[in-house]
Amino acid sequence: MEMDSRPVVEVSEADIYQENQKVLSDISFKIEKGEFVYLIGRTGSGKSSLLKTLYADLSFDKGSIDVAGFDIRKIKSKKVPYLRRKIGIIFQDFQLFPDRTVSENLLFVMKATGWKDKTKMKGRLAEVLMRVGLGAAAGKMPHQLSGGEQQRVVIARALINEPVILFADEPTGNLDPEVSKSIFKLFEEINRSGTAILMATHNHNFITENPGRVLKCEEGKLLDSTQDEFNLATHY
């Protein structure tokens, strides 16, 4: 089988909108397989809008966007679930069903994304929970877990279908610094095993401690540390 070497995200000359307001103009960038990319910028600068556009939750104008092989401009709403199987989405607020156990939360997503074989489902469930360090949490209710553990469940849920990229929107925004660090480490591990990550964050410690490529939303533009005169020190 031929290896697919196309970028996982390819944005070309696109305008990003929130309602009728343009938030980013004429943006272009690529994310290659297995890349780790930070997305920074002030509150309201357009990070969430950009992420939502990439996972086909907001429509855009001009240009083209391709994510995991899907043409986001042309994607029909009934095809969006197929896109969502190739990507993982992680938010700041954990968005687990509060009245269902950890396994029920994960099984819900598996059923919704076409899993049918009970044995395989159980196997995958155990695998993703082990992966995030929560092997023993399957039977727990979300409220019996700490914030960091709940976020690990969300990450496990995002990993179920072996996504090519994780879109994380301020994934440690509700967590204390120590727990944030351990969640960040988990993202790094996931990235090392080949999943690309685009992480919107206000936590600049991550970037100073683990320097990497940075995209920055600023005054309606998207700056790229690999393309622009981009001095991180002046960007904080």
Ligand X SMILES: Nc1ncnc2c1ncn2[C@@H]1O[C@H](COP(=O)(O)OP(=O)(O)OP(=O)(O)O)[C@@H](O)[C@H]1O
Comparison of 54 and 67: residue with beta carbon closer to ligand X: 54
**Short-list 87, 68, 43, CA closest to 200:** 43
How many residues make contact with ligand X (CB under 6 A)? 12
> What does the per-residue mask of binding to ligand X show for 16-55, with x meaning CB under 6 A?
--xx---x-----------------x-xxxxxxx------
> What does the per-residue mask of binding to ligand X show for 159-198, with x meaning CB under 6 A?
----------------------------------------
Comparison of 93 and 189: residue with beta carbon closer to ligand X: 93
CB of 166 to ligand X, least distance (A): 17
Count CB atoms within 10 A of the CB of residue 56. Answer: 21
CB of 174 to ligand X, least distance (A): 13
Ranges of H-type helices in the chain = 47-54, 80-86, 102-112, 118-131, 147-159, 177-192, 204-209
Residues 195-234 binding ligand X (CB under 6 A) are 217
Binding positions for ligand X, rule: CB under 6 A: 18-19, 23, 41, 43-49, 217
